[in-house]
Copies of this chain bind each other. A is one copy, B any other.
Amino acid sequence: MPKNDRARPPGPEPRPRPVLDEVDRRIVAELLRDGRTPNVVLARAAGIAESTCLSRVRALRERGIVTGVTAEVDLARVGLPVQAMVAIGFSGHLRADVDAFADEVSRLPGVVATYNISGANDFLVHVAAPTPEALRDFVLDNLTGRPGVVHAETSLVFHVNRGSDVLSAG
Contact = CB atoms under 8 A, between A and B. Distances in A.
Contacts of A79: 18-20, 170
Contact residues on A (Cβ < 8 Å of other chain), bracket: 35 or more
A129 B119 CA distance: 18
Interface in A106-151: 106-119, 121, 124, 126-130, 134, 138
Contacts of A112: 162-163, 166
A71 interface: yes
A153 to B, nearest CB: 7
B102 A159 contact: yes
Contacts of A19: 77-79
A80 B119 CA distance: 20
A33 B160 CA distance: 21
A157 B73 contact: no
Interface stretch (A1-9, A45-53, A59-67): A59-67
Contacts of A155: 117-119, 121
Contact of A102 (B108, B161, B167): B161
Given A118-B155, A134-B169, A70 B67 contact: no
A157 B128 CA distance: 21
Given A35-B70, A73-B66, A155-B118, A106 B28 contact: no
Given A129-B169, A163-B112, A78 B102 contact: no
Given A102-B159, A113-B162, A170-B79, A69 B69 contact: yes
A20 B114 contact: no
Nearest to A65: B77
A54 interface: no
